[in-house]
Amino acid sequence: MEEEQDVLKPDGHLDCTGLYCPAPVFETGKKINSMKEGQILELIADDPASEEDIKSWAKTTGNKLIKMTKNNDNFIFYIKKMYK
């Protein structure tokens, strides 16, 4: 699994630990909007609702959730920006 993370090489990082809905979604939107098409954002969140919230946000906005893992209480998302 560590090899996959190395291959992804995120272009941006966002730590939303300690933030609860809707803050992780709002902050993810702001961060992804500052990135270029095709870049990958690594998002870390500990809000239990973030798993479904980020999946739904990615689908709604047209961005691609490449991978999601859980490490203890943290969710780690890799999101590819799919538009300009």
Q: Which of residues 29 and 7 earns the better pLDDT score?
A: 29
pLDDT digits (tens, 9 = 90+) for 30-62: 999 999 999 999 999 999 999 999 999 999 999
16 is catalytic: no
pLDDT at 84 over 90: no
What domains are there in the chain, each with its CATH number?
2-80 (3.30.110.40)
Query: What's the token pair of residue 77?
Result: 């998302």
Amino acid found at 58: A
DSSP assignments along 20-67, one per residue: -TTHHHHHHHHHHHTSPTT-EEEEEE--TTHHHHHHHHHHHHT-EEEE
**Active-site position among 8, 19, 21, 23:** 21
Q: What pTM was estimated for this model as a whole?
A: 0.88
> What is the rounded distance in angstroms from the CA atom of residue 62 to the CA atom of residue 60?
6
Q: Name residue 78's beta-bridge partners.
A: 42, 67
